[in-house]
Amino acid sequence: MNLRQNYYDSETIRTSLTLANAVKMNERELPEVARRCGVRGATDSDLLLALCDKFALRLAVLTRGTRGALLRSHTLSVEVSAPRTEVVDFVGSSEAFTAALLMGLLE
């Protein structure tokens, strides 16, 4: 998911998730996606699992900045901590995370 300014709507989000096998979003995007898709949960993990259920996703991933990431599927719930680092620039961080995730899944 890549929600920027007002360049998205509920239909686009739902259609994208219907066509997807997996989704990765950040902690600002998750509540917006959940609201627009009509899913509820008490925790981030619950919301990710609800999205997996509703859209038959194999994997839902939440990036949480300095708090690491949460990976969720019907058979998996993994929290990964973020390594301590000095941030120089956030540009490309999401793309780098996604590339590393995909490499890990392909191995």
Residue 20: its pLDDT value, please?
A: 96
Percent of the chain surpassing pLDDT 70? 100
For 35-52, give the DSSP string.
Answer: HHHT---SSHHHHHHHHH
Mean pLDDT value of segment 39-53: 97
Q: Which helix (H) or strand (E) holds 26?
A: strand 22-26
Give, for 10, the enclosing helix (H) or strand (E). helix 10-19
Quick one: average pLDDT of 26-55? 97
User: How many Cα atoms within 13 Å fall on the side-chain side of residue 105?
Assistant: 13
pLDDT in the model for residue 104: 87
Supply the pLDDT for residue 71: 97
Instruction: For residue 63, give every residue at least 6 positions away whose Cβ sits within 8 Å of its Cβ, in sequence order, or none.
Output: 24, 25, 26, 27, 69, 94, 97
pLDDT at 57: 97
Stretch 80-98: mean pLDDT, rounded?
Answer: 81
State the pLDDT at residue 95: 82
